Structure 1
Amino acid sequence: MATDFRDHLFPLDHPRLAQYRSCDPYTYVEELRRVPLFDEVLSGWRAVYENTRFRGITTDGRLRPGLFELGQEEAAPTEGAVMAAEALLDSLTADQRERVSHPLDSKVWRAWMNPEIYLNRFGVRLEEADEKVHERVFDLVGACLSPSGVRAVRDVMTVNGFLGELVDLPRLLNEHSYNVNLFGTPSTTQPWGWNLWGHHLGVNCLFVGAQQVLTPVFLGSEPNVIDRGEHAGLSLFGEHEGLGLEFARSLTPEQADRAVLYQHKRDPQMPVGRLHPGDELHLAGAFQDNREIPLEGIPASDLDEDQRTRLEELVELFLSYQPDGPRGSRMAAVRRHLDETYFCWIGGRGEGDPFYYRIQSPVVLLEFDHHAGVFLANAEPEKFHTHILVRTPNGNDYGVELVRQATGSAGRLDDPA
């Protein structure tokens, strides 16, 4: 039986919360770095960001060519996005414009992270900007995402504010604990983009003419429901959880033998390192832009027609934050490579069991994971703390492959910040 998040609240005087009560986002990082485990994780992430150039997620270290073609007509909302980005720039002070603006190939693209740890300080932080800037940022999000995508972004931010109230850490956790950056010059013909990231949120958006790439994207929440106050009844990721579980339950015993990698979220049979102190079971999280992620589980070629349809529906749910045109193009590519698409599962398949699953193909990588508590007290993963990830493997996260074709550059994303 799944538990309620209120069964796992720290007392407000507990050291896990009380020791950070006086911290702001800047001093909180300093305090965390006094803890060896945190310092090791943060130092590792920072080293990857500083010392590596972008290549892209692969299955074996080799990029697969010919998957992403420049010049496709996707009916991306480019014109509206340009207008919204220019309005955002107009709303900023000269200092803010300088901080928010980066070269197209800046490695600042790769600085996003989803923990509430303000380690990489690029762009304009919404809580340090006025209401007009907030409105222009949300206008940009609205111009670039589908209505359900806009709701997902706003809901993640709203839940973050709820969490801050719940644990009495509003200086660290609030609905404006997020940074926005722009890359290149907004244009209806030339490549440019933006990102918005912070606790449980990372959205990266790149336009090239009528084409749009909206990955990496991270969405999460702890808890994933608001049960009291103005926003009572708001919940996140129930469809991703429910459809994923339905699909896993549709597997025959023989299929499940291949798809289910481990029976428990924290299975003693897992190799050392499979469970990450920051990412749990996610493989494609922040700073994992170049990770090799071998295919695991069962290929769609070994599913029946109903299961293949269900798998496509699950993929489309993950991509529902994208506008109709770009999402249609992504789904067409997914269908072309459906036989090469793998599904794997970790955890139980009972109603209350937490779990992880991944869908991986040459053109998309999707992850769903239930996590242990960070600001809540559950030491084991619970279904009220959820993370999802969307990646474009084989070199087109951040639209890098399309930029390479459009500009003739290497699309390195390793220039100085």
Structure 2
Amino acid sequence: MSQTTLHTETDYFVTDIANATRRYLDLLDAGQREHAIRASTDDDLRHRWGYAPGTRPGLALGDLRRDQRKAVHGLLTAVLSPHAYTQAAAVMALEDVLDHREGGYRDRHSGDYWTMLFGTPDGDEPWGWRIEGHHLSVNVLVADGRVSATPFFLGANPARVHYRGRVIGQPLLLEEELPRELLDRMGPTARDLAVVSELTPQDIRSGNSPRITPSEPAGVTLAQLGKPAGRLLLDIVRLYLDRLRHELADQEFARIDQDRLHFSWEGSLRRGEGHYYRVQGPELLIEYDNTFNEANHIHTVWRRHSADFGDDLLAAHCG
């Protein structure tokens, strides 16, 4: 793909995001706008993200009119690939499933997802938005025609819904199955390098920190895997990056230093038992954790070491 084509596609992508954001803004009254918009320079609020249950700044989906709720979903579809939007919608719907399972004592609801804008798409200044609630956080920033979309978190509880022993719902299916396939496909020497611990962390190690704490890469490298297994590792990376529309996912994949990728696994290899994996590179961190509820509660995140929240784009804009 030529650079001209890439830039043209990116321009269309940015236009789509801007138009979706304007459609949402046009539906808000003055009082809603007061709660919905903060400055793109409000780094404290932009960096204060999370994936646990609880209220957020901004406007809750459940408090909006039908047309306004559809406009929020329009923000998601402007940025996410079709399959990732399906995952995000399923994650939000699972709040009602979880609330029923718990007997309603925590008063969960699929409307408990908040939208906060940071700036607006009119003018030359950077702008963006966050849509966030339990097990979902999508952070978008646009500056000078470029787009950032990390941290990007998806989780699921329950991760699998069963009927008579058969799975009828599993929104993060490939996030578990592809790494298991990778472990099966790699040889014993590579597997010994990849499985770094029999114990699992309690959660993704990066948590909801605004910055990733640097850590020494662990596990097996792409070169140590060989070609068939190595291609599968790249498929796992693409799975996470392809949560975004291809215009941005392709750019992100092109930036990855493939020779310095590491894959590591912690915990049990048996299904139904706690496990964790990570894919790590100089500017890439992918984490997956599934340790609670008999390994039926998944957390996944994609982050970039020096570019989360579009801070690299903001620095370039101000520099």
Change in 2 beyond 3 A, CA 1:290/1:243: closer
Find the counterpart in structure 1 of residue 3 from structure 2.
none
- Give the root-mean-square deviation of aligned CA atoms: 2.1
Task: Give the Cα separation in 2 of the matches to 1:400 and 1:74.
Answer: 24
Query: CA 1:187–1:396 in 2, change beyond 3 Å: closer, same or farther?
Result: farther
1:267-287 Cα offsets, whole Å, 9 max, x none, are xxxxxxxx4xxxx24112212
Q: 1:383 to 1:302 in 2, by over 3 A?
A: same
Deviation at 1:74, TM superposition (A): 7.3
Count residues with an aligned counterpart.
Answer: 308
Q: Secondary structure at the match of 1:233?
A: strand
Equivalent residue for 2:315, pick from 397, 404, 410: 404
- Please give the alpha-carbon distance, in whole angstroms, between the structure 1 residues aligned to 2:39 and 2:195: 43
Amino acid at match of 1:85: T
DSSP 3-state at the match of 2:205: coil
Aligned to 1:345: 265
Q: Is the 8 A contact 1:75 1:210 kept in 2?
A: no
Check whether the contact 1:180–1:196 (CA below 8 A) recurs between aligned residues.
yes
**Paired residue secondary structure (1:80):** helix
Counterpart position of 1:311: 233
User: Shift of the alpha carbon at 1:209?
Assistant: 4.3
How far does residue 159 in structure 1 lie from its aligned partner after superposition? Answer: 1.0
Partner of 2:19: 83
Match of 1:362 among 282, 285, 295: 282
Which residue among 221, 224, 241 is the counterpart of 2:159?
224
Equivalent residues of 2:198, 2:267 under 8 A apart: yes
Superposed, which structure 2 residues align to 1:133-212 within 5 Å?
A: 133-169=68-104, 172-187=107-122, 190-212=125-147
Q: TM-score, with normalisation over the residues of structure 1?
A: 0.69
Letter in 2 for 1:130: R
Structure 2 CA distance for partners of 1:320 and 1:116, relative to 1, 3 Å: same
Give 1:298's aligned residue. Answer: 220
- Report if aligned partners of 1:211, 1:326 keep a CA contact under 8 Å in 2: no
Q: 1:86 to 1:234 in 2, by over 3 A?
A: same
SS in 2 for 1:197: strand
2:247 counterpart of 1:247: no
2:38 to 97, 102, 118: 102
Closer, same or farther in 2 for the Cα pair 1:324/1:161, shift >3 Å? Answer: same
What's the CA shift string for 1:122-181, capped at 9, x where partnerless? 111222222222111111111121111211111100111211122232873111111111
Task: List runs of 5+ in structure 2 lacking aligned partners.
Answer: 1-5
Distance 1:208 1:329, change over 3 A: same
Q: 1:389 aligns with which of 290, 301, 310?
A: 301
257 and 404 in structure 1: CA distance in 2 versus 1, 3 angstrom threshold:
same
Q: What displacement does 1:353 show?
A: 3.5
Between the two structures, name the one with larger relative contact order (CA 8 Å, sep ≥ 6). 1
| Structure 1 counterpart SS, 2:47 | helix
Bigger Rg, which one = 1
User: 1: CA distance between counterparts of 2:67 and 2:37?
Assistant: 18
Q: Do 2:36 and 2:117's aligned partners in 1 also have CA atoms closer than 8 Å?
A: yes
1:57-94 Cα offsets, whole Å, 9 max, x none, are: xxxxxxxxxxxxxxx83733111211111121121221
Rounded to whole Å, the distance in 2 between the matches of 1:352 and 1:165 is: 23
Tell whether 2:3 aligns with 1:73. no
Describe how 1:371-382 pairs up with structure 2 within 5 A.
371-372=291-292, 378=293, 382=294
Change (3 A) 1:170 1:235: farther
Q: Which has the larger strand fraction?
A: 2
The one-letter code sitting in structure 2 at the alignment partner of 1:156 is V
Residue 206 of structure 1: how far off its partner (Å): 1.6
1:333 to 1:204, Cα distance in 2 relative to 1, 3 A = same
Q: Does 1:123 align with 2:34?
A: no
Per the normalisation by structure 2, the TM-score is 0.90
CA contact (8 A) 1:74 1:211 kept: no
Q: 1:400 deviation in Å? A: 0.8
Between 234-243 and 126-135, report the one with greater CA deviation: 126-135
**Partners of 2:108 and 2:210 in 1: CA distance:** 25
